[in-house]
Structure 1
Amino acid sequence: MPVYEYEHTDTPCDIGRAFEIRQSIHDAPLAVCPACGGPVKKLVSRVAVSAPKGNAQLKDMGFTKLVRRDDGVYENVTRRDGESRYMVRGRPETLPDVKRILRD
């Protein structure tokens, strides 16, 4: 479950001016502090998102990375067994096998 931040709109209580609470994403935002019953508002918080560091991580996550090498020619740097190293415009047999990568 995600953690949400709330801030007292009036006088803070013993838990402080701002506090965190774990809630379901489907729960309605709190209107009152669970400790003192005072009015609170939900804060917008920043989240940490990290991008994959390299081609191997992209491949492990199921992504395909194509790097342009020439006009209409792309290198598949995350190719899997049985896939062509180069994707060439007009040659559908060189396309990555999406059915092997994607699953229901």
Structure 2
Amino acid sequence: MPIYDYEHLNEPCSLGKTFEIKQSINEESLTQCPQCHGPVRKRISRINLSLPKSNTDLKDLGFTKLVKRDDGVYENVTRREGDSRYMEAGNPETIPNFSKTIRD
């Protein structure tokens, strides 16, 4: 379940000026503090995204990364066994085998 930040609009209670609460994405935003029942508003907070940091991370996650090297020529920097290192426009034998990475 996601964690949301709320801020007291008036005097804070023992939860502090701001507090966090776990809520379902489908739940309505709080308008009152669950402890003191004072007015609160949801704050915009940062989200934690773990993005792949390397080509190996992308490959492990099942992605294919093609880097343009020339007109109509792309290097497959996440190639797997049996894949061509370069993909050339108009040459179907060089297209990566996506059935190795696409699953139900």
Q: TM-score, with normalisation over the residues of structure 2? A: 0.91
Cross-structure match for 2:73: 73
The list of structure 1 runs, each at least 4 consecutive aligned residues, that deviate by more than 3 angstroms after superposition, is none
Paired residues, number: 104
- Counterpart residue number, 2:60: 60
2:24 is equivalent to residue 24 of structure 1: yes
Q: What is the RMSD of the two structures over their aligned residues, measured on CA atoms?
A: 1.2
Equivalent runs, 1:75-90 vs 2, <5 Å: 75-90=75-90
TM-score, normalised with respect to structure 1: 0.91
Of residues 59-68 and 42-51 in structure 1, the stretch that sits farther from structure 2 once superposed is 42-51
User: Which amino acid is the alignment partner of residue 82 of structure 1?
Assistant: G
Aligned mates of 2:59, 2:28 — CA distance in 1: 38
What SS does the aligned partner of 1:16 have? Answer: coil
How far apart are 1:46 and its partner, in Å? Answer: 1.1
The answer for unaligned runs of 5 or more in structure 1 is none
Query: Unaligned 5+ residue runs, structure 2?
Result: none
CA distance in 1 between counterparts of 2:37 and 2:84 reads 63
1:46 counterpart letter in structure 2: R
How far off is 1:5 after superposition? Answer: 0.2
Distance 1:102 1:27 in 2: 34
